[in-house]
Amino acid sequence: MKHIFYSLVLLLSLSACKENPSGEDGAMTSTPEKQRDSVQDFAIVIHGGAGTILKENMTDSLETAYEAKLTEAIQTGYKILQNGGTSLEAVQRTINVMENSPLFNSAKGAVFNHEGKNELDASIMDGKTLNAGAVAGVTNIKNPINLANEVMVNSEHVLLSGKGAEEFAEEQGLEIVDPSYFFTQKRYDALQRTLEQEKTAKKDTKTAFYDPFIKDDKYGTVGCVALDKNGNLAAGTSTGGMNNKRYNRIGDSPIIGAGTYANNKTCGVSSTGWGEYFMRGLVAYDISAMMEYGGKSLKEATDAVIQKKLTNMGGTGGIISLDNNGNVSMEFNTPGMYRAYMNDKGELQLGIYKELQK
Amino acid sequence: MKHIFYSLVLLLSLSACKENPSGEDGAMTSTPEKQRDSVQDFAIVIHGGAGTILKENMTDSLETAYEAKLTEAIQTGYKILQNGGTSLEAVQRTINVMENSPLFNSAKGAVFNHEGKNELDASIMDGKTLNAGAVAGVTNIKNPINLANEVMVNSEHVLLSGKGAEEFAEEQGLEIVDPSYFFTQKRYDALQRTLEQEKTAKKDTKTAFYDPFIKDDKYGTVGCVALDKNGNLAAGTSTGGMNNKRYNRIGDSPIIGAGTYANNKTCGVSSTGWGEYFMRGLVAYDISAMMEYGGKSLKEATDAVIQKKLTNMGGTGGIISLDNNGNVSMEFNTPGMYRAYMNDKGELQLGIYKELQK
């Protein structure tokens, strides 16, 4: 009876979905994927943040730099997967490449908080065991995604924060750097501009959050989802959070189910965008739940969650995701999202703006 | 087509469920609710923590004290709802009663962390707007649930932590107390016993977490879900976290979707238990998702999530919840959970152990 029930649900779901093509509400849709409904032996997808990324604001050399770094990052993970490595290893090493680059709002390139410090958040999840690890507000860990992994593997906790997380990192022998390592002139100047604007804005605790200039600085995160040859999904996310953030704000990146989720039954997801909306909407887990309980495909679920639910709430950003066959969805409702996907044949899809470049 | 599809899913789901009565897997089930499938004008449910709560370990006077405080708390919220107050107001004032009592691991009665300090976490969610607020690791806020509400109402953030959250609390004029306010001899003695045990245990960072004595101290949280006369659900949770916790660990209580969730479309939920499992399982949101996408009733969803999914993961604890008709589910897989429910007629259900007392 149970089997028949689920088969019927699936059949009905599929027929219902044909009448509801994605993007029906006229919401902005990302580029359709070339790979759909195929079965990949392994696959990997990354993002380097979503936001108001427009070609007219980008120099050729900067565009080339982003393309090169995204390609380097995804190839790092691809090689690990091709050689039979785990999705967890691929996710970490791929994110490390982006964490070590000043191009992305993550580790080396992290934005500054209101006090002129860099506070880093990261999380990782293992789709096989549903184990997870995360850190929030660390200031001296070179690669926060590696610390998130240590929390998952070597503690009984899921989320550690601040000084306590740093103490745990030292005990585990992670690479510690002086906080000045995270200084970049570009991010520092961005903070100074924001602080200058605040002085002239009317005194209102909400002002900083509504400023359209600052809004763009909300975005910027790096993330990776990988499927390995053993069929195990993993997902990870790492960020510097929000420029000029205060009050030890924690965003969605270290929150399992909001910024990161992986489950071999369904999919792996990493989010980037206006974190508060991703937390209220449980965006990463919501995609999985829609697949598991609602019988949706990855493409249908990501379209519904990003283009309809998130958009209707007023949230902006995007996700990268793989289902357990290696099908990809890179969905966002912003003008751009740094992103790349590689299938088991090593074919690359790479994009910054709405349309894919490669 | 869509309507027919969902009706069919619902019908099939109901028939399938008849063949799968709750508790089929032999998991421990909580007492069946007296109120089922009714429509309440308003309703309220609370918990004061789940764990190894056994009648043989309880004195009569302590039992009476718990019953009296649970009754006082739920009546506080009931009166607000009866007088047409909002579910958000009822949730806060009800939780305040438990926060101000040394009986529960929350605010006044909070457990101590490894350094002998009290670190408090709380969260609240509005089922009408899906707005939410939370705080983690605050040390001087008399009523953390009120601060969570301020974060929701007066900031653009969802989760603030540590010193930053305390700074925000001062700006908002919340009641600040000296950290010594949270000292209780019972909790201090519990920490000393744990520290003593650690000295004799073998050197292993995991030891503290696996100690069966400490496991019981993982539990203890307070929570409330309310439905008001306008049909709005709200949910809130407040806790001192885990005895002897280290590394600024953050548990499930301040995580939207794990410790707390509310959505007028489906239900409101507050969790209590071994937080890490509730975070990995997104327990509070999972119940809502199962109702929304899987067409389950509240009772079916809470049974599946607590008695099957959580239990199969190895997690322990429970939830209190209301659907948008005021139907209640108080589901747990531990020997006991402090809990109470009141319907719109003021009829009380109260329980500590597996069976309801009243």
Q: What is the ipTM of this complex?
A: 0.87
pLDDT at B218: 54
Q: Which amino acid is at A224?
A: C
Give the mean pLDDT of B191-215: 59
A136 contacts chain B (CB < 8 A): yes
**Tokens 């067409």, residue located:** B295
Domain ranges of chain B: 43-353
A12 contacts chain B (CB < 8 A): yes
Helix and strand totals (H; E) in chain B: 12, 13
Strands (DSSP E) found in A145-250: 159-161, 222-227, 233-239, 249-250
**Chains A and B: how many Cβ contacts under 8 Å?**
179
DSSP 8-state class, residue B256? B
Q: Can you say how many angstroms the Cα of residue B92 is from the centroid of all Cα atoms in its chain?
A: 13
User: Do A238 and A121 meet the contact criterion of CB atoms below 8 Å apart?
Assistant: yes
Residue of chain A with shortest Cα separation from B164: A247
pLDDT at A10: 38
Helix or strand holding residue B167 (H, E): helix B162-171
Q: Where does the pLDDT of residue B323 fall: very low under 50, low under 70, confident under 90, or very high at 90 and above? A: very high
**Cα separation, B174 vs B29, whole angstroms:** 40
DSSP 8-state class, residue B252? S
Q: What percent of chain A has pLDDT over 70?
A: 84
Which has more pLDDT, A57 or A129? A129
The pLDDT of residue A211 is above 70: no
Helix or strand holding residue B15 (H, E): helix B2-18
Q: Which of A263-277, B217-231, B293-307 has the lowest mean pLDDT?
A: B217-231
**Is the CB of B130 less than 8 angstroms away from the CB of A210?**
no
- Taking alpha carbons only, the member of B237, B351, B215, B218 closest to residue B284 is B237
Q: Longest Cα pair distance anywhere in chain B, in angstroms?
A: 66
Pairing mode, strands B159-161 and B132-138: parallel
Helix axes B87-99, B144-154, angle to 10 degrees: 150
Which has more pLDDT, A125 or A18? A125
Alpha-carbon dihedral sign for residues A247, A252, A256, A257: positive
- Taking alpha carbons only, the member of A275, A260, A269 closest to residue A322 is A269
Q: Which amino acid is at B305?
A: V
Q: What is the pLDDT of residues B223-242, one digit of tens each?
A: 999 999 999 999 999 999 88
The pLDDT of residue B284 is above 90: yes
- Measured in angstroms, the CA of A85 and the nearest CA of chain B are apart by 24
Contacts of residue A158 in chain B, CB cutoff 8 Å?
A: 275-276, 279-280
DSSP track, A101-143 = STTSSSGGGPPP-TTS---EEEEEEETTT--EEEEEEESSBS-
Could you confirm whether A31 is annotated as catalytic?
no
DSSP 8-state class, residue A179? G
At B312, give phi and psi (nearest 5°).
-65, -30
Residue of chain A with shortest Cα separation from B296: A293
Contacts of residue A157 in chain B, CB cutoff 8 Å?
A: 209, 247, 249, 276
Grouping H, G, I as helix, E, B as strand and the rest as coil, residue B191 is helix
Query: Side-chain half-sphere of A37: how many Cα atoms within 13 Å?
Result: 3
Q: Where does the pLDDT of residue A201 fall: very low under 50, low under 70, confident under 90, or very high at 90 and above? A: low
**Is the CB of A206 less than 8 angstroms away from the CB of B248?**
no
Contacts of residue B206 in chain A, CB cutoff 8 Å?
A: 154-156
**Is the CB of B2 less than 8 angstroms away from the CB of A13?**
no
Contacts of residue A154 in chain B, CB cutoff 8 Å?
A: 205-206
User: Do A59 and A354 meet the contact criterion of CB atoms below 8 Å apart?
Assistant: no
Q: Which residues contact A70 (CB under 8 A, 6 or more apart)?
A: A46, A48, A338, A339, A340, A350
A31 contacts chain B (CB < 8 A): no
- Active-site residue numbers of B? 221
Q: What is the pLDDT of residues A2-14, one digit of tens each?
A: 444 444 443 434 3
- Measured in angstroms, the CA of A108 and the nearest CA of chain B are apart by 23
- Measured in angstroms, the CA of A4 and the nearest CA of chain B are apart by 10
Q: What is the pLDDT of residues A156-182, one digit of tens each?
A: 899 999 999 999 999 999 999 999 999
Suggest the residue from B156, B207, B215, B218 to mutate for an interface test with chain A (most A CBs closer than 10 A): B156
User: Do A344 and A338 meet the contact criterion of CB atoms below 8 Å apart?
Assistant: no
The pLDDT of residue B205 is above 70: no
The pLDDT of residue A82 is above 70: yes
- Taking alpha carbons only, the member of A15, A222, A120 closest to residue B2 is A15
- Taking alpha carbons only, the member of A302, A337, A329 closest to residue A70 is A337
B248 contacts chain A (CB < 8 A): yes
Alpha-carbon dihedral sign for residues A267, A269, B313, B222: negative
Which candidate in A76, A139, A194, A221 is catalytic?
A: A221
Q: What is the pLDDT of residues B52-83, one digit of tens each?
A: 888 888 899 999 999 999 999 999 999 999 99
**Is the CB of A162 less than 8 angstroms away from the CB of B161?**
yes
**Cα separation, A112 vs A258, whole angstroms:** 22
- The CB density around residue B266, as the number of other CB atoms within 10 Å, is 24
**Cα separation, A197 vs A57, whole angstroms:** 21
CATH class of the domain defined by A43-353: alpha beta
Average pLDDT over chain A, rounded to an integer: 87
Q: What is the pLDDT of residues B15-44, one digit of tens each?
A: 333 333 333 333 333 444 444 457 999 999
pLDDT at A216: 54
pLDDT at B28: 37
User: Do A286 and A15 meet the contact criterion of CB atoms below 8 Å apart?
Assistant: no
A13 contacts chain B (CB < 8 A): yes
B154 contacts chain A (CB < 8 A): yes
**Is the CB of A279 less than 8 angstroms away from the CB of B293?**
no
- The CB density around residue B173, as the number of other CB atoms within 10 Å, is 8
Please give the structure tokens belonging to residue A188: 């520092």
pLDDT at A37: 59
Which has more pLDDT, B123 or B188? B123
